[in-house]
Amino acid sequence: MDPLEMIQEQEKKIQSLEIELIELRQGLAVLQDYFSGLAPVRQEQEATAEIDQDLMRPLVDEDLEFEGIWEFHQKMLVADPKGFIPLDTMYETFAAYCRSRGRKPVDKIAFEFLLPQMEEPRPVIYRGKWQGCRLRTERR
């Protein structure tokens, strides 16, 4: 091959490589722009997720409280029209039941508000006692 042709061939190769380099640099710039734009989006998503957690945590805690009362109601109470349980005894039994299952019992006011919302048996507070039910461990 003629030296002039070799030089022309090398110049073409250099021009081709220079074009590839320019394209790579442009691609790199696009990627940098893309990823630098992702950082604020990621931070915004993390902040949104954190806010969502703060909003949802009380709802989840409230559901867990309700489930604890529901489970106690289903497993420990029996409908008995003549049955009754003193308020303190019922709450203490509920609290012990929760602790035995690794749950934190709700306070007594919440318990006394939510328990009458349950169906069959539906206990009612009357004269310092829960009327219409008995504890499953008690004999008639």
Mean pLDDT of 7-34: 88
Any domain includes 99: yes
Q: Do 62 and 114 contact (CB within 8 A), yes or no?
A: no
**pLDDT tens-place string over residues 67-120:** 888 889 999 999 999 999 999 999 999 999 999 988 888 889 989 988 888 888
Domain with residue 68: its CATH number is 1.10.10
Tokens of residue 100, six digits: 């035995």
Would you say residue 138 has pLDDT above 90? Answer: no
Any domain includes 102: yes
| Sequential DSSP letters for 5-58 | HHHHHHHHHHHHHHHHHHHHHHHHHHHHHHHHHHHHHHHHHHHHHHHHHHHHHH
Any domain includes 64: yes
Any domain includes 83: yes
Any domain includes 116: yes
Any domain includes 97: yes
Query: Helices 3-76 and 87-100 sit at what angle, rounded to 10 degrees?
Result: 150
Any domain includes 78: yes
What's the domain range around 72? 57-135
| Predicted local distance difference test score (pLDDT) of residue 77 | 93
Any domain includes 42: no
40: confidence class by pLDDT, cuts 50, 70, 90: confident
Q: Is the dihedral of CA 54, 55, 56, 59 positive or negative?
A: positive
Would you say residue 65 has pLDDT above 60? Answer: yes
State pTM to two decimals. Answer: 0.55
Domain count, the chain: 1
